[in-house]
Every structure is written in structure tokens, then in C-alpha cells.
Structure 1
Amino acid sequence: MLTKLWKGLTGPSDIWCSKRPISLLQHWPNTRYRIGHTIVPGTKVPVGTLLYHGALTGPHLLTALEWVSVEPDHSIVFCQGPIETGCWHLTLKVTRPMKVLYFDGTSGAKIPEGTMDTQDLVVWSKMNPEWVGNEGKHIMDLCKWGQKSGVNGFLSEVMICDFTSHMEVVSFLNLESTRIGYSSPADLPEDLNNGLIYSRTSVHHVFEIMHSASWHEMYPGETRIMLDFSGLVSFYDTTLVPSLVPRCVGLDRWDHRVEGISSEDIERVQDRLAQALIRPPVTTSGIDWKTVLRVVMMQYLVNMTLDDRSIFRHAQQVQRRLRTVLLPYTVFAALPPNTSVTANATNSWAAPIFQECAILHTTSIAHGTTLMPSERLLLEAVRETTREICRVITKMWVSGMMTGVDPLYPREQHPKADHIHTLMGEWKEDVTQLMSWLDWSVWEMCYLPTWPFGFPGAEPPFQVQWDSASLWPDPNKGEWKRPQPKCIRRLEPYGL
């Protein structure tokens, strides 16, 4: 169904400034048309939803206003710390339904192209382009504005106003640092390519951020946020915002802005939104099982036929992917010293990492929650699937470390080619058996170039130097303004 909100502008024939499907909480449509025009109350972030936060200095609950992610792949990038002590990664569980407010478009993008205009109008009654990069000012004033309506947070990025309300800590893990970001690669071990590990690792982690976002590209989109469509407020509503009607005539959808709205229309939008927020919402309660089942993740490893000259490089690529999968669970205390990765009969040092991987997504559901018989059946299915995925991935990762192909645990000499061939054969068998058991098959992903990768003014760690076959838009050209979809491999090399 297409929304037809602009009509009858020039006589008998209808002309619409916007004709597009309802696509709230879906990544692709809101990336393709990143300047938002819709605000929707969220009836709740369901009980049991897990939220993640990295970049912590220690195991202390946040008291300031901050951001969280619904995917550990996103938050883990910000979990950075000294190589000697690792970093801290926080996992929270929602204990009471959270009331949120959703801004469509790419409303978390800090660019002066209109992505944050609707937020500015709601909280300040005017647009302040000079504050685009002032994250602290935005979240502070938004939370202050939302207090009177009981709003606990804001989206697209999840801005949390009070970490002591509606949530409890599931885990505070001291993890191995991601080792990407703002500093030079001097603290990383170097191979014969003199620092190439650092740039490849950075590109790999950037790709994984895009990959986690791709899980919500199309319908049903992000299912962990439930919106109250009866409270939707749109700047395409000609009755509510008539002053914007002439502002979009003759313009492509890419160029629509809420700039030029009248003060009277701003006041009407604010009044409508206030009414939607204070009335009793239509809510449901309990665990969102559809989401729990969708969150269980599998990383696919490609079959390779390799010669002795390239097999070591490919083995390192596979090992990096295994490391990325396990990174949210890689408890720092469990890691062996960098200089002494030694095999033993049980490799028991990896047991805590496997345990965290296997139980993190289900422990918060099992404890303190009353489940119906059908829900217990679903929980056991999720547990069994997650445990087997984590068992195989941990086993493969440990065997890579034992063989000496892990870039962060290098041996003085490269392992012999026949040892790597044996390792690759074991990996192939492990993955084949696991995929047969799971019966899943996805080998590519499609994406839209997304802020801030390749955008003008991007800051570290997003200033990665891409080659001529870059996955991202050239910041010196205008292609970032009208992004076009690309489909790529899910393994290095990413280009097709």
C-alpha cells in the first residue's frame, strides 16, 4: 500500500511529493531516503530484549545519558582499551516495557543534510545545523523534553535516558579489545606485510557492522521495537503541516526537507505528538519469541581450493571471521598469553568463551520469567541451536590458534603448508556438518552505502583508505547523496 499524502496541488490531476511504502524500522528504505519525515511513539521495547554498550572504562553502570545497540556487532567496535587490560562490554536486559520515540530516516547520521531536522524541531522548535555533531546536546535536551511524557529513549540509534530504569545488567565482560580505531597500529603484531593486519582487520570489522545492519534491511525490519501506528506524526500530512506543501513540488524525494516549515506548523506537530505520548498506548506483554529466534546468528565459511602460496592468507581470513563471531564472548581472563598458545588435551582455557557464546542470548529468559509450555519448547530449541553453533565455531577458532594462523597470536615462523591444509580440511568438514544440521544457506548480502563510511568529513575509525574497487562511496564525488544498492560476498575479498 502506498501512502498518498500530497494531493490536489494543481487542479484535477493528483501530484504527490511522496509515494512510498510504509517502511518504518527497515534499514534499506530509511538509508535510501535518509532525510526523515515521520515520528512514531514506540509502545515498548519488549521485556527480555538485550541491549549492548561498549567503550566502558570499568564495570560500573552508566549514570550519564548514553547510546546502546541492539546488535553486539555494532557496540563491540566501541569496546576499546589497552592491549594489556582489554575493554569492558555491557549487556543489559529490558525488565519493563520501555517507552521510546522513533524518528525515521537515518536520524542517527550526523550530517548537515537534514537527517536530524525532525529531532531539532521537536525539542528546539527550530533547526540548529551548527549542533549536528553535538551528540551530548541532542540526547540531553531530548531526554529532558521527553520526561514529561515518560519517554525512556529515542531511536534510530537507541539513546537511553536512564540506565537505572527498565533494565538490569546481564553481564559486564572484560573482553579483548577490538584493536581498531584512533591509534596507530604500533601495538599490533606485524607480519611480513608490515602493518597490513591492521588495515585488513579494520576493513573486516567495518564490514561486520554493515552485515549486522543488513539483517533488518527489509520487512519486517527491526522487530524488537514495537511502534504505535495510531500515534504516527508525519510531516507529509498536508492538514497538519500545510506550509511544507510548496516546498517539495518539483523536487525528487532525495531532496525533500522539513526546512521552511512555519512556526504554526511546528506547534501543531508538537501538540499532536504530545497527545500521542500521554494517552494510554496499545501494548502487549511478554517475550518476543519471533525476535529471539531471529537473533541466533551463523557465520558462513566458503569452501576453498588453494595452493601452498595462498593458503596461509586464506586461513587467516577464516580465522579473523571466527574471531569476529566470538568477540562479544571472548572473556579477557580466558585468553592464553600472546606468546604461548599451547595445545593440550582439552583446550579448557576456551571453555568460558564457549559458555558465554552458548548461553548469553537465553540466560536472561530462563531466569525470572514465567514461561508457558510452548515457550519452554521454543527456549530449548534456541538453546540447542545456539549451543551447537557456538561449539563448532569455538572449536574451529581454537584449532586455528593452535595451528598458528591467528594474526593476533603469530608464531615466529609460519606453520607448514601441510598443517594448514589439514586445518582447512577440518574446518570444511565442521562447517559442512553444521550447515547440514542447520539447513541454512545464505552466501551474499546486499547493502546501501551508509553514513559515515565514505562520507565527507568522516572521522576515525571510518577514514579507512579504500582502493579503486571500494565498497563505499567516494567522498569526493556526489554518489553518497543518491546511494545505489550493491551486492557483495560475505567473505573476503568482499567485492563480486
Structure 2
Amino acid sequence: MLLSVRHLLSFWLLVFSIPLTSTSALVAPGSSYGPDLDAARRNAFHIFNVIHCAMRQWGSSVNHNGVSFFLATVPEGNLFYHGSSSPDRPDSFEWLAFEVEHASGFALSGDPRMPPPGLPRPTNKPDTFSWQPSYSEISGTQMSPTQESHVTEDSSAQNRLIEDDDRGKHSPPPTSRGYFQTYRASRPLKLIYIDGMGAAEGCWGTTDSQDLLLLGLSRNFTDGPRLGDTVYGRLLCELAKEWGVDGWVRMETGFEIIYCDFASGGGLEFVSQHGSAFPNETENSQWEVKTLLFELLRAAAKRHDGFSSGRIRIDWSSMVTAFAYDVNTTNPDLERQDLPRLIEVTKEEKEDIGARFGEVVASRKHGVNPMIDWQNIVDDIVTRFSDRLNFITHGNLSVEMLWGEVSTLLNPFLNFPEDRNASTPSPIGVTLCTNHYLNAAMMRRDIWTLEDTANFIAVKVVADKICSSLFQIRTLLSSARVGEESALLKSRTIAGTLMDQLQWTTWKGCGRCASSWQFCFIPMFPTGSVEDYYSPNCKGLDDMDDVVKGCYWAGVVPC
């Protein structure tokens, strides 16, 4: 009876599965746009990682070239922070920080145009845009002093936190007091999240998605000069107004919001304001600057695994990603094939993806929409398999230990005694293992969006690859024809190949740092070196001099 019930369950799981070999694009009624299932299957490992890394500082720093967009909501009552050289409430778009330490860097007192010494300035390459907006092009937009501070020679988003080499070549400008302001969401805030490190301004292609897919800018380049944050703010807020949203979420050294309406009644309630100290008002200004950077990076690192559930809510069913379309995301830089680029995507393809996201925004902007929590599903899979796959690949295991690891992972999907000594993978077992964490999503097919279907295809491909590989290892271990050493070697090879395909960011961390005064550091714009990217390590206050000397964001190897 147990076996027949098991067969029946498997049958229905197969019935409700979507064929992985479909060649048709999914198109909404009345639309000519939609994700392509073949592309979703082909890019399954990328889509899986997009979901896993979204709104997480660590994963978004490792996979810093985002190509995806999500609708997001900030619940009413959440606090955000703004640093400015003006005590006035902004009257147009401005920047909000999730962390106190992030906004504090923009609330420094002193020269309003020059940042304190000792903090990093990324190297810039010559402009190669086919179109480069000038300062005069944005002069029609009234800018607050903070916005003006974002328009620099290199248009760095970290203007107040970068070193100006020409500081001594000009007459000392007047000084000003900096102000730290706190705001509270007076209603749910409707935002769009741009994944990856979308606020980074390096040469790697971190702004491709917003430049090419959202804003439709025409570029002819291989590496990127900067538009400047004020240009981005104006253009993105024009689009936000068109789409009926409040602003944009992006990431650099911490997450930020480009909020498009700071005026009273725009969704933000003013809470408090505090003036910051001039350097001569503190006992040790140099130590304060070094500490400022340390605390900024440490605060960002606290979000390596994401935010608490009530801070910001991502609508996973709204996810539109270039990986779900039949477009070329290959990086022309042969040394960085791990980073996707969108510069080979045609004008028509860019317009299609952008138009599809516009449709998604229009269809889901009213009220609370039902959704599938794909990150929860993906997290369950990563949590279940990440450490064990790493242990199987790199641990010094005996056959007995390896059999124990594999049995722990697969026995819940086997039927004993029939499957006790199976020398071939159990088709039913593989199916049960593959669909296990997808069951919740499969029960709610009635609310699926087109993007849910593409996500389902991708997650199922990844789950099937994991389960099939583990069953393959089990077959090796249970076969009398395979010697012990050979079985171990082949099993490690299978697991290692799988890890290479998965490329989970959980395998790149530092582990537990020796001191609570340290944090696991990976380059976060504009800090860090090439070595820090490939070998992240624990950093403390005494390491800040090395952090600012890094040149990762220059895109030059060696520095």
C-alpha cells in the first residue's frame, strides 16, 4: 500500500510539473512580451542565484552585475536616514540610507565640496559613451546641496567619502555644518529594487541594467564612465513618476533608496535632525575619519544575509530578469566571464524587457498582490545542501562517512526495503527529491505570474541537477564493481562539478571572524582590492588603510 501511494504521489507531481523542454515564450494576454522558458532553463543556475542574492549585501557584492528588477514595499513606520549640508527638508528627489552609519558619511561638517582625507577615490577611465549628459542638461532640475555634492568631475556616488587629489590647488572654500536627518515611512512605500550593486560606479558593468534596460540609454563602450548620481536620480525619478512608484532601491556600501518626493505628503514623515561636528570639535579628527569608514563597512556587513522581514518586502512574483530572455549576456572581457553584461543586447531586446517590466509594474501596483516566495524556496535548498556538498567535495571522508552524508540527504525520498541496495538512481526518488521544496509553489499555480513560471523552471532545473548528482554518487557507493578509492574519487568529482555549476555565494565567505570587532570584507564600492574579491577576509579598524588603497573598482589588474 505504501509503495502504491508513493507512486500515485509521484504521478501527480509529474502531472503538475511544467515540461522543461518547452520552446515557447510565455506571453500575457494583450502583450507581445514575456519570459522565454528555454532561456530560463538554459540560465537556470543564474536565475537561482539572482533569487538567492537579492537584497543581500554579501551575494550582491559577489554577483555585483545585476540584470534583474523587482517590485518592493517598505512597510509603514520604517525609519530611514539622510545626510546633507543643508538643514532644510529636500524639496525634490534625494537619497535615503537604510543604516545610520551610511547617512552619517554624507552629514559631515566641513568643506561642503571636499570630503575628508584618507578615504578612497576610484580611478576613472576615459569616457566612451556615445552620449554623455553635461551639467547643463540637468540644470533644469533644482538640486539640493547634497545632490550638488553628487555631481563631481568623476560623478562619484561617494563624493563626500572620496579623496580629492586637487584639494590643495584651490582656495579654501567656505565651511558648512552637516546635518543628519531621520525620516519615517508614513504609509507603505512603493519601490523598485535593482539587483546587484547597482549604485556602484566602476568599470565592471554594474549599471548596465538601469542604463540599458530601464533608461534606454544608447552606449558604445566596453567599460564605463559615470553619468553621476544626480543624472541617475533625475532620470529614474522621471520613470518612477510614469510608473506610479515612490523610488528605487540600489546597493553600494550598504543599501540606499533614491526617493523621488521628499515633500510633505510624499510618504515620508520628518522625525528629527542633528548637526554634526566640525573636525576641530572632536578630539581626534583623523581617528574619527578612519572610524567612520570602519563603522560604515561594518554596518553594511551586518546585512550580508539580508534584512529582517519587516524592513522591506520583495515581490518575488514580479521579478523580471534578463536571464529569462533569449539575449546575449556574455561579458566581452574574457577574464571576467563570471560577470554578465548587457552591452550585446539589441535595441529591440532591451525594449522588450523594459516593456515587460512596465507591464508588471502596472499590473501589480495596486494593493497587496499574492506572490510565491521564491527566495524562501531557494534558501531551503541552499541550507539543505550547501555545507554537505562542500564537505563531500573537500572533506577527508571515508566511504562510510560519505555514505552517511548521502543517505541523510536522500533517504527521505526512498522506499525501503525496495531501495536499500539500488544500483541505479530511483526515478521516483529523484522526482520526489527535485519537487520537495517546490511543493508549496506548485499548490498555488492559480496565482502564478509569467515570471513565476520562469522561476519555477529555473529552480526545478537546479534542484533536479542536485538530486540527480547525489543519486549518481549513491549508485557509485552501492556498486560492488567500483573500488573504494575509485568510488570516493568519482564521488568528489561529481560533487565538485556540481559546485562549479551552482556557484553559490555561501562557499565564498570568511567563516566566523576571530573577533566581534571584525567583519567579513569583500569589495563594496568604492573600497577593496582584487585580492579582497577573490579571497574575502576578516577586517578590523587597523585594516582600513589597506581597504582604501584597493583598486578593485578601477577594473585594472594589477593596480
Q: TM-score, normalised by structure 2?
A: 0.46
Aligned CA distance change for structure 1 residues 178 and 276 (closer, same or farther; 3 Å): farther
* Residue number among 116, 124, 140 corresponding to 2:234 in the alignment: 140
Aligned mates of 1:266, 1:23 — CA distance in 2: 23
Distance 2:259 2:553 in 1: 34
In structure 2, the residue matched to 1:161 is 260
| Aligned counterparts, 1:473-492, within 5 A | 474-475=549-550
Residue among 38, 45, 66 paired with 2:94: 66
1:449 aligns with 2:523: yes
Which position in structure 2 is the counterpart of 1:370? none
The question of whether the paired residues in 2 share the 8 Å contact of 1:25 and 1:221 is answered with no
The residue identity in structure 2 corresponding to 1:152 is: D
Deviation per residue, 1:365-392 (Å, 9 max, x gap): xxxxxxxxxxxxxxxxxxxxxxxxxxxx
Structure 1 residue 250, shift from structure 2 partner: 8.2
The verdict on how the C-alpha distance between 1:18 and 1:147 changes in structure 2, with shifts beyond 3 A counting, is: closer
Q: Partner of 1:198 in structure 2? A: 285
CA deviations 1:27-60 (Å, max 9, x no partner) are 0110111111111111x111001111112322x2
SS at match of 1:93: strand
Q: 1:97 aligns with which of 177, 188, 196?
A: 188
What's the counterpart of residue 269 of structure 1? 353
* Distance verdict in 2 for CA 1:172–1:131, change over 3 Å: farther
Deviates more, 1:77-86 or 1:208-217: 77-86
| Alignment pair present for 1:31 and 2:131 | no
Separation in 1 of the partners of 2:314 and 2:344? 28
Is the counterpart of residue 53 in structure 1 residue 82 in structure 2?
yes
Deviation at 1:107, TM superposition (A): 0.5
Question: Which of the two has higher C-alpha Rg?
Answer: 2
Query: How far apart, in 2, do the equivalents of 1:225 and 1:33 lie?
Result: 21
Instruction: Give the whole-Å Cα distance in 1 for the aligned partners of 2:327 and 2:79.
Output: 41
Residue 122 (structure 1) shift: 3.3
Identity of aligned residues (%): 19
Instruction: Report the AA paired with residue 547 of structure 2.
Output: W
Q: What residue in structure 2 maps to residue 110 of structure 1?
A: 201
Change (3 A) 1:249 1:112: closer
Q: Secondary structure at the match of 1:236?
A: helix
Measure the CA separation in 2 of the matches of 1:56 and 1:234: 38
SS in 2 for 1:472: helix
Query: Residue 228 of structure 1: which of 287, 303, 315 is its match?
Result: 315
Give secondary structure in 2 for the equivalent of 1:243. Answer: coil
Q: Distance in 2 between matches of 1:110 and 1:248?
A: 18
What runs of 5+ residues in structure 1 fail to find an aligned partner? 180-186, 191-196, 286-440, 457-465, 483-496
Counterpart contact for 1:94–1:166, Cα < 8 Å:
no
Alignment of 1:16-415 (within 5 A): 20=49, 22-42=52-72, 44-58=73-87, 60-82=88-110, 86-126=177-217, 128=219, 132-156=226-250, 157-164=256-263, 165-177=265-277, 179=279, 187=280, 197-219=284-306, 224-237=311-324, 240=325, 242-244=326-328, 254-281=338-365
Give the distance between the partners of 1:115 and 1:203, measured in 2 at CA: 27
Letter aligned with residue 61 of structure 2? T
CA drift of 1:88 comes to: 2.1
Work out the CA distance in 2 between the residues paired with 1:259 and 1:66.
29
Q: CA offsets, 1:185-235, max 9 Å, x none?
A: xx4677xxxxxx333221110010011111210145785221111110111
SS of residue in 2 equivalent to 1:148: helix
Q: What is the count of residue pairs matched by the alignment?
A: 295
The CA distance in 1 between the partners of 2:46 and 2:545, in whole Å, is 34
Report the alpha carbon displacement of residue 174 of structure 1 after superposing the two structures with TM: 3.3
Residue 80 of structure 2 aligns to which amino acid in structure 1?
L
Higher helix share: 2
- For residues 148 and 477 of structure 1, the distance between their equivalents in structure 2, rounded to whole angstroms, comes to 36
- Higher normalized contact order (CA 8 Å, seq sep 6+, divided by chain length): 2
Q: CA RMSD in A?
A: 4.0
Distance 1:7 1:93, change over 3 A: closer
Query: Which stretch of the first structure deviates more once superposed, 169-178 or 90-99?
Result: 169-178
